[in-house]
Homo-oligomer: A and B are copies of this chain.
Amino acid sequence: MGMNEKEFVKEVTPRTENFSQWYLDLVLKTELMDYAPVKGCMAIRPYGFAIWENMKELLDRRIKETGHQNAYFPLFIPESLLQKEAEHVEGFAPEVALVTHGGNEKLSERLVVRPTSEAIICSMYAKWVQSWRDLPLLINQWCNVVRWEKTTRPFLRTSEFLWQEGHTVHCTEEEAETEALQMLGVYKDFVESELAVPVISGLKTEREKFAGALHTYTIEALMADGRALQAGTSHNLGQHFSKVFDIQYLDKDKQLKYAWQTSWGVSTRLIGALIMVHGDDRGLRLPPQVAPLQAVIVPVITKKKREAVLQKCREILEELTGTVRVHLDQRAEYSVGWKFNEWEMKGVPLRLEVGPRDLEQGVALAVRRDTGEKSAIPLADLAQQVPLFLKDIQASLFQQAADFLKKNTHRVHSYQEFKDVLAEKKGFVLGFWCGAADCEEKIKDETKATIRCMPLETAQKETGPCLFCGQKGKIAYFARAY
């Protein structure tokens, strides 16, 4: 191991030593992002953006398969428009960026850079929705949004971030509710199948719901440090926005009625979840489904056999291209050991080593990033075996995370037990809660744990005494969260 290799690894703080620093070191070192010269903003570098592109493609397909179409609405919202829905403006007012000048002149009305697009979209929907024939209206957009954050952290909380936001309009309350739950299911399936991140799903409390929604559904993931991360939300907006923006439709019975709405979104924050769920001391471990590179071929070169080894590597590259996202690391200026470390840190699921001895035996050495396991694969079987390895790695990463989630979900029956678990074990803590905002807030003040969600009603049967006040309550998931 040369000097370079040591230096390379040394620069990332061990995860077990300081989780937060490990995360910051890793996102920089693996070139997922870099800090930009604007407070709280980042540049998403090609390696990080390729993860987002893969996520986007896989989720966009699901969004379209459920009947939605993409569109694009303006970045700017006139301040008066945002202020129409009272709860909504209250929720976002402290976070907005304001444009006051355009083309060297002061604007007559200030423009808000969208923190979310309900206001601007509803103002358009009011024109587009006239009759029951126009419904349901099922639109999604992929865009950037801005929320002026005081404390920021790459991917998890930045002043500007990328996301998708779905905005739908329906004839009835029931249809809107069905839609909100459908999209919650789409998110859960997407995050679990493609990101290999298991989630719990449920209903947000009134305190934690989206500003302006009737109610908010959420999927919540558990990071490796035992803290929860809200990974996606789906809102039943009820008629809050349709009433203030006047979205009415003429129903079949010739009556003019206010429409029912939903909105739902996930963001680049999911990249943070990927890192904090799967990463280890050696770096990222990316699930094959969203990894920019699924396999990397590293020639193990000796002076003698250099050309023969490289030639074989190029043949393997050609054979795998089109089937998997594969790269051949031909760089002459780095040692083999340095390359191994770098691709491990970058989280490439499978490394294929090809050296002179492998050549003689007609094999490549496959090294799994998830387990470190090594297997010699006959060259003739590579095209068939590599996709199977990737499938297995995807499943194994999910299983490891699911085991971790299970192990770190604790059922408690008293407030003392609740506090003990939070202090010693972290993770999700399940206990009864009476539904009072007061109890919720006091628990948060005293323990820093918030209610992440309540299981959906269909799954809610048990009742018992509230952890805090002892009144009759239902099950809630608590955790300290990002």
Q: Contact string, A43-85, partner B, CB cutoff 8 A, digits 1/0?
A: 1111011101100000000000000011111111110010000
Are B94 and A98 neighbours in the complex by a CB distance under 8 Å?
no
A144 to B97 Cα, complex, angstroms = 17
Closest CB-CB distance, A189 to chain B, in whole Å? Answer: 23
Cβ-defined partner of A104 (8 Å) among B49, B74, B94, B110: B94
Are A76 and B124 neighbours in the complex by a CB distance under 8 Å?
no
Are A34 and B128 neighbours in the complex by a CB distance under 8 Å?
yes
The reply to whether the CB of A3 lies closer than 8 angstroms to some CB of chain B is no
Please give, as numbers and ranges, the residues of chain B lying within 8 Å of A322 by CB-CB distance. Answer: none
A5 to B97 Cα, complex, angstroms = 47
Are A75 and B146 neighbours in the complex by a CB distance under 8 Å?
yes
Are B99 and A113 neighbours in the complex by a CB distance under 8 Å?
yes
Assess A38 versus B76: contact at CB under 8 Å? Given A49-B70, A69-B46, A70-B50.
yes
> How many residues on the A side are at the interface (Cβ–Cβ under 8 A)?
58
The reply to whether the CB of A412 lies closer than 8 angstroms to some CB of chain B is no
Assess A103 versus B148: contact at CB under 8 Å? Given A36-B120, A37-B120, A75-B160.
yes
A76 to B50 Cα, complex, angstroms = 22
Are B99 and A103 neighbours in the complex by a CB distance under 8 Å?
no
The reply to whether the CB of A374 lies closer than 8 angstroms to some CB of chain B is no
Copies in the complex: 2
Cβ-defined partner of A100 (8 Å) among B70, B81, B98: B98
Are B34 and A124 neighbours in the complex by a CB distance under 8 Å?
yes
The reply to whether the CB of A96 lies closer than 8 angstroms to some CB of chain B is yes
Assess A37 versus B143: contact at CB under 8 Å? Given A73-B43, A95-B103.
no
Please give, as numbers and ranges, the residues of chain B lying within 8 Å of A76 by CB-CB distance. Answer: 38, 41, 97, 160
Are A148 and B102 neighbours in the complex by a CB distance under 8 Å?
yes
Please give, as numbers and ranges, the residues of chain B lying within 8 Å of A41 by CB-CB distance. Answer: 74-76
Are A73 and B36 neighbours in the complex by a CB distance under 8 Å?
yes
Please give, as numbers and ranges, the residues of chain B lying within 8 Å of A124 by CB-CB distance. Answer: 34, 36, 43
Are B123 and A37 neighbours in the complex by a CB distance under 8 Å?
yes
A49 to B53 Cα, complex, angstroms = 18
Cβ-defined partner of A43 (8 Å) among B72, B95, B133: B72
